[in-house]
Amino acid sequence: MNIVLIKKSIREKLYAHIPYRTISIGSYIRGLYLQKCFNELSPITLTHVLDAGSGDGNYSKWLIEKYPFLKINAYDIEDSLLWKHMPKNITFRKKDLQDLHEKEKYDFCLCIDVLNCIPENKIALHNICQSIKKGGYIYIHIPAKKQKRILFKEYFKQYDVTSRKKFPGQLYSKEELVEIVSSFGLTPIKISSTFGLFGNIAWEINAFTGEKSNIFIKITLIPLLILLSFLECAIHNKEGNGMLLLAKK
C-alpha cells in the first residue's frame, strides 16, 4: 500500500474538521481582531465595503459569510486563483492602491497588513481614506516598527532581516499612524497593540514548525495555536508586534 497516498488521505480527512484544518495563524489572529472590531460597530449600516489589498480574499469571505447583505469590492495588485471560488457578492479586481481614485463610496474599509508591502504607502492610504463616505470607517492593521521574539530569537534573526527586504513599506508608531490618518480627514476612535505575548508565541510556533516539522506535528499543534489566538484577542496588550487602528470619517 502506498504510504504517500495513506498520508494524503488522512491529511484530507483531518483538514475537513476544525480545529484540525490547517491555517495561517497570523491571518487567523488578524481575522479575529477584525471580527471583534466589526461586531462592535453597527454592521447593518455598513453595506458597501472595500477590502484594500485583499490578497486571496479570506477576510472578505468571512465578512460575507457573517453578513451576507454586504457588497464588497476587493482590490489587490496581484490576482489570485482563489478569487473564482469566492461568494458572488465579492467583486475582485486587480488594482494598484496607489492609483485608486474612488471618492466617498464605501461605508467600511479594511486594510490588513497591506501598507507594509507598499513603498511610499502614504499615497495609497490617502487614496483609501478618500474612498470612504462621511460617517464611514477605516480599519487598519499593520506590523509594529519594533519586532520582539520570545521563543526562537536566534531562528528569527535572519527572518526579520529578510522580511524587511520583502516588505519595504514604511512602518509607523501609534502616534505617527494617528497623525497621518487624522491629516486625511478621519478621527481615530481606537488604536491598540496586537500580537502580544499569546499571539506572538502562537505565531512563532506556527512559523517555526512550518519548516522544521512534518504535517502531522503541525496539525496536532493547531488546537493549541487556536487557544493562544483566542487568549491573544481576549486581553489588552500594552505592546506587541502589530497594531490596529479604527477611525471614522
Q: What is the DSSP string of the chain?
A: --HHHHHHHHHHHHHTSTTSS---HHHHHHHHHHHHHHHHS-GGG--EEEEET-TTSHHHHHHHHH-TT-EEEEEESS--GGGGGS-TTEEEEE--GGG----S-EEEEEEES-GGGSTTHHHHHHHHHHTEEEEEEEEEEEE-SS---SS-TTHHHHHHHHHHHH--S----HHHHHHHHHHTT-EEEEEEEES-HHHHHHHHHHHHHHHHS-HHHHHHHHHHHHHHHHHHHHS--SS-SEEEEEEE-
Given a cut of 60, whether residue 185 has pLDDT beyond it is yes
Q: What is the pLDDT of residue 53?
A: 95
- Percentage, residues of the chain above pLDDT 70: 89
Q: What is the pLDDT of residue 153?
A: 81
Q: What is the pLDDT of residue 206?
A: 87
Q: Are 137 and 185 in contact (CB under 8 A)?
A: no
CB neighbours of residue 18 within 10 Å = 10
What residues contact residue 39 under an 8 Å CB cut-off, 6+ apart?
A: none
The β-bridge partners of 76 are 94
Q: What is the pLDDT of residue 4?
A: 63
Confidence of residue 217 (pLDDT cuts 50, 70, 90): confident
Q: What is the pLDDT of residue 13?
A: 56
- Percentage, residues of the chain above pLDDT 90: 63
CATH number at residue 126: 3.40.50.150
Kindly state the average pLDDT of the residues 45-53. 94
Residue type at position 168: P
Kindly state the average pLDDT of the residues 73-80. 92
What residues contact residue 62 under an 8 Å CB cut-off, 6+ apart?
A: 31, 34, 35
CB neighbours of residue 44 within 10 Å = 8
Q: What is the pLDDT of residue 7?
A: 58
Cα 116 from Cα 191, distance rounded (Å): 17
Q: What is the pLDDT of residue 23?
A: 64
Q: How many domains does the chain have?
A: 1
Mean of all residue pLDDT scores within the chain: 88
Q: Report the sign of the C-alpha dihedral through residues 51, 54, 60, 62, in that order.
A: negative
Q: What is the pLDDT of residue 15?
A: 47
Given a cut of 50, whether residue 59 has pLDDT beyond it is yes
Kindly state the average pLDDT of the residues 31-35. 94
Among residues 27, 26, 124, 143, the alpha carbon closest in space to that of 76 is found at 124
Given a cut of 60, whether residue 220 has pLDDT beyond it is yes
Confidence of residue 71 (pLDDT cuts 50, 70, 90): very high
Q: What is the pLDDT of residue 207?
A: 86
Q: Angle at which helices 215-234 and 3-15 pack, to 10 degrees? A: 20
Kindly state the average pLDDT of the residues 40-69. 92
Kindly state the average pLDDT of the residues 118-124. 93
Confidence of residue 209 (pLDDT cuts 50, 70, 90): confident
pTM, rounded to two decimals: 0.86
Find how far residue 79's CA is from the centre of its chain: 17
Name the residue range of residue 155's domain.
3-248
For cell 472590531, what's the residue? Answer: 37
* Between residues 23 and 136, the one the model is more confident about: 136
